[in-house]
Amino acid sequence: MNQIKVGTKTIGYSVEYRERKTLGIKVMPDSSVVVVAPVHANQPEIQKKVKEKGRWILQQQSFFDSFQPGTPSRQFISGETHLYLGRQYKLRIEKGPANAVKLYRGQLVVSSANTKDVQQLLNEWYRERAKTVISDLFSQLLLNHKAFSKYAPILRIQKMNNRWGSCTPTGKIIINSELIKAPKVCIEYILLHELCHLAYPNHNKKFYNYLSTYMSDWSDVKNRLEKIMS
């Protein structure tokens, strides 16, 4: 295991040498970092590349760490980080006469007269944002892909324990509200996946071919979500 300092953080990484021309960096779901390097690459070259990508590596690690089962439960205190649409925001709690939650300069600001209400306020904010953002994406997909409109799908957003979404035989698309914490492309993938089930209920070749016509790189997004959920 190799290490390099990026600011105040230390990034550990392993190196895999392969017959290739370029050097690549992968951040795995367990936050480990793998550098895939050409066989002729030397250590100074590798270290330089890791340092150049240091900020991106740390961002990816923070994203994956937030979904790990072993991540300590949130305490809802100032300085803690929370995800929204794939980005990390630091929580800032302020005392104020009115309850409010807002994003401001990379922070998630919660104003409340009683700090005991912070968790409830934040959960309610996430639910409302999920309803707005996911509903807008759903409407946009139907507008862009009119083939789905003939099924008259109905969207329902709720918290789900074991899956990101589902499609009922009656055309109801159910989406996990927790997806609001993932990047928009992940939300779009799940919406498209469930919409495609309107035409093909089963996960057969026709279904995946149909899905590919709407999102050619769906498998990359799918793998990312599956790794996050494991």
Instruction: Give the model confidence (pLDDT) of 176-189 as tens digits.
Output: 999 998 889 989 99
Rounded Cα distance between 183 and 188, Å, is 9
Stronger pLDDT, 4 or 163, i.e. the higher one:
4
Label the pairing between strands 24-27 and 2-6: unpaired
pLDDT digits (tens, 9 = 90+) for 120-170: 999 999 999 999 999 999 999 999 999 999 999 999 999 987 778 889 888
CATH topology of domain 129-229: Zincin-like (3.30.2010)
Structure confidence at residue 161 (pLDDT): 75
**Range 72-90 average pLDDT:** 82
Does position 63 have pLDDT exceeding 90, yes or no? no
Beta strands in 52-120 (DSSP E): 81-84, 87-95, 100-104, 107-112
User: 22-31, 70-79, 200-209: which has the minimum mean pLDDT?
Assistant: 70-79
**Range 13-28 average pLDDT:** 88
Does position 72 have pLDDT exceeding 90, yes or no? no
Between CA 203 and CA 211, with CA 205 as vertex, the angle to 5 degrees is: 75
Q: What percent of the chain has pLDDT over 90?
A: 50
Residue 67: what residue type? Answer: F
Query: Whole-model pTM?
Result: 0.65
Sheet holding 9-18, edge to edge: 2-6, 9-18, 33-38, 24-27
Q: Which structure tokens are listed for 212? A: 């590919």
Stronger pLDDT, 195 or 9, i.e. the higher one:
195
Rounded Cα distance between 49 and 87, Å, is 23
pLDDT digits (tens, 9 = 90+) for 96-122: 778 899 998 889 999 887 777 888 999
Rounded Cα distance between 65 and 29, Å, is 8
Q: Which of 155, 210, 209 is nearest to 187 (CA)?
A: 155
Residue 178: what residue type? Answer: E
DSSP 99: -
Stronger pLDDT, 28 or 146, i.e. the higher one:
146
Domains of the chain, by residue range, sit at: 2-65, 81-125, 129-229
Structure confidence at residue 71 (pLDDT): 44
CB 92 within 8 A of CB 105: no
- CB atoms inside a 10 Å sphere around CB 142: 18
DSSP 117: G
CB 9 within 8 A of CB 17: no
pLDDT digits (tens, 9 = 90+) for 33-62: 999 999 999 999 999 999 999 988 988 887
Q: Which structure tokens are listed for 202? A: 């089963």
CB 108 within 8 A of CB 123: no
Does position 70 have pLDDT exceeding 60, yes or no? no
Long-range contacts of 87-92 (CB under 8 A, 24+ apart): 88/59, 88/62, 88/63, 91/122
